[in-house]
Amino acid sequence: MAEYRTFYGLLNRLMIEDFLGENDGTEHYLREYASYLDQIKTVQFFVLHFFSDLSNQIEIDVNEDFNYNSVQISTVFYFEDNKSRQMYHIRNLTEYYFLLLHLFVENGYRLCRCQLCGRYFVPKTKKKTLYCDRVLNNGKTCKEFAPKLKHRILANRNEVLKTFDTQRGKMYKRYERTLNTPGTVEKPLSFEEYYDWLEKARTARDNYLEDKISKEEALNIICIE
């Protein structure tokens, strides 16, 4: 986790220090650690579904759907530029996701899903926004890179894009089934395996669209059994 997301890895390490202590190699320690990871995945999936409904303007009942009525998070109040401000102190992923959810509900943020990278973002204006400002592997933002792809899509070069979208949905469903009903999945897919594939597939898609690799090379990376 630390290799894929430095921030996530930090919060995971802090949680281990706070609640589990040093790894003594016992079965009890491993069970407690596995229980924590299951809890994190449950919260993460709820936040993802929450974002999906929010971006599609679907009415949300947080009290009914969310399993946590409250999570204790330290808040520091301070003054800056003659204004009262506050800072949150979080030390594990459960606190992070709950805080994220709370802020979205409290502030009534609009949410969009980038049509290039597929990730959620808060638009800067009330106008319809299709792409976010995240920086891709090629150094350009989705907003800068996406318009340049239109002529290629119109030229019927979108087989790789369609395959990427289809495969991403299949891989996510496979990961979700592994989490919820692990005994029924013929080929289980872990959290690390899913995100490792996603990063490689995104890179292959972008490299193909910039003519750095062929269509066949991109599809070979994106399509896995």
Tell me what pLDDT residue 140 has: 83
Please state, in angstroms and rounded to a whole number, the distance separating the CA atoms of residues 138 and 160. Answer: 18
Q: pLDDT 10s digit of each residue in the chain, 225 long?
A: 555 578 878 887 888 788 777 777 788 888 888 887 777 777 777 777 788 887 887 776 766 666 566 778 888 999 998 899 989 988 888 888 888 888 887 888 888 888 888 888 888 888 878 889 988 877 888 888 887 666 555 554 578 888 888 888 888 888 888 888 877 778 888 878 888 898 899 888 888 877 888 888 999 999 876
Question: Which are the contacts of 213, defined by CB distance < 8 A and separation ≥ 6?
Answer: 204, 207
Residue 62 CA from chain centroid, whole number: 20
Q: Which two tokens stand for residue 164?
A: 């990427």
CA dihedral of 5, 6, 8, 11, whole degrees rounded to 10: 170
Region of residue 77 (left: phi > 0; alpha: psi -120 to 50; beta: else):
beta
What DSSP line would sit under 23-54, residue for residue?
Answer: ----HHHHHHHHHHHHHHHHHHHHHHHHHHHH
Q: Which two tokens stand for residue 131?
A: 């792409």
Tell me what pLDDT residue 52 has: 82
H/E run at residue 98: helix 93-107
> Which CA distances in Å does 26 have to 23, 32, 38, 48, 188?
8, 10, 19, 33, 26
Please state, in angstroms and rounded to a whole number, the distance separating the CA atoms of residues 95 and 120. Answer: 20
Please state, in angstroms and rounded to a whole number, the distance separating the CA atoms of residues 90 and 99. Answer: 9
Amino acid, res. 2: A
Other beta carbons within 10 angstroms of residue 58's beta carbon come to: 10
